[in-house]
Amino acid sequence: MARPLRLHIPGALYHVMSRGNAKQPIFIESQDYERFLELLAETMLRFGVSCRAYCLMPNHFHLLLEPRDFPLSRMMQQLNSAYSQLFNRRHDRVGHVLQGRFKALLVDRDGYFLQVLRYIVLNPVEAGLVSDPAEWRWSSYCATAGRNAAPALLALTEVWQAFDATGSRAQRRFVDFVDAGRGQAPPPGVVVVGSTAFAAEVGVALEPHRGNRDYRHAERYAVRPSLDRLLAEGCDGAARGVLMREAYRRYGYTLREIGAFVGQHPSTVLRCIRRAGLEHAPSEACEGGQLPSGSHARIKI
Q: Are residues 154 and 251 in the same domain?
A: no
3-state secondary structure string, 56-86? EECCEEEEEEECCCCCHHHHHHHHHHHHHHH
| Residue (of 34, 180, 62, 37) closest to 127 by Cα position | 62
Q: Are residues 22 and 169 in the same domain?
A: yes
* CATH, residue 259: 1.10.1750
Residue-wise pLDDT tens digits, 193-251:
888 888 888 888 888 878 777 777 777 787 788 888 888 765 666 677 888 888 887 78
Q: Are residues 17 and 160 in the same domain?
A: yes
Q: How far is CA 127 from CA 58, 130, 131, in A?
A: 10, 8, 10
First to last CA, the chain: 23
CB 9 within 8 A of CB 109: no
Domain extent, residue 57, equals: 13-179
Q: Are residues 20 and 164 in the same domain?
A: yes
How many independent structural domains does the chain possess?
2
Q: Are residues 29 and 110 in the same domain?
A: yes
Range from 4-18, 21-35, 276-290 carrying the lowest mean pLDDT: 276-290
Residues in the chain: 301
Percent of the chain with pLDDT over 90: 51
| Residue (of 98, 90, 120, 93) closest to 29 by Cα position | 90
Task: Check whether 294 has a pLDDT greater than 50.
Answer: no
Task: Check whether 69 has a pLDDT greater than 80.
Answer: yes
Q: Can you tell me the mean pLDDT for 256-278?
A: 82
Q: Are residues 163 and 234 in the same domain?
A: no
State the pLDDT at residue 66.
96
State the pLDDT at residue 286.
34
Task: Check whether 283 has a pLDDT greater than 70.
Answer: no
Q: Can you tell me the mean pLDDT for 65-74?
A: 93
H helix intervals, the chain:
30-47, 72-90, 112-121, 123-126, 141-144, 157-161, 167-179, 196-206, 217-220, 227-230, 237-249, 255-262, 266-275
Tell me the residue type at 178: V
Q: Are residues 174 and 263 in the same domain?
A: no
- The CA-based dihedral angle spanning residues 240, 243, 247, 250, taken in that order and rounded to the nearest 10 degrees: 150
Q: Are residues 174 and 42 in the same domain?
A: yes
State the pLDDT at residue 147.
95
Neighbouring C-beta atoms of residue 292, cutoff 10 Å: 12
Which helix H or strand E contains 13, and what residues bound it?
A: strand 13-19
State the pLDDT at residue 277.
58
Q: 174 pLDDT band (50/70/90 cuts)? A: very high
Q: How far apart are CA 229 and CA 200, in angstroms?
A: 13
Residue-wise pLDDT tens digits, 118-157:
999 999 999 999 999 999 999 999 999 999 999 999 999 9
State the pLDDT at residue 212.
78
Q: Are residues 297 and 153 in the same domain?
A: no
**What DSSP character marks residue 222?**
S
Q: 160 pLDDT band (50/70/90 cuts)? A: very high
Task: Check whether 285 has a pLDDT greater than 90.
Answer: no
State the pLDDT at residue 199.
83
Q: Are residues 38 and 118 in the same domain?
A: yes
- Phi, psi dihedral angles at 94 (to 5 degrees): -135, 165
Task: Check whether 53 has a pLDDT greater than 60.
Answer: yes
Greatest extent of the chain over all pairs of C-alpha atoms, in Å: 71
Q: How far apart are CA 131 and CA 4, in angstroms?
A: 35
Q: Are residues 231 and 153 in the same domain?
A: no
Q: 37 pLDDT band (50/70/90 cuts)? A: very high
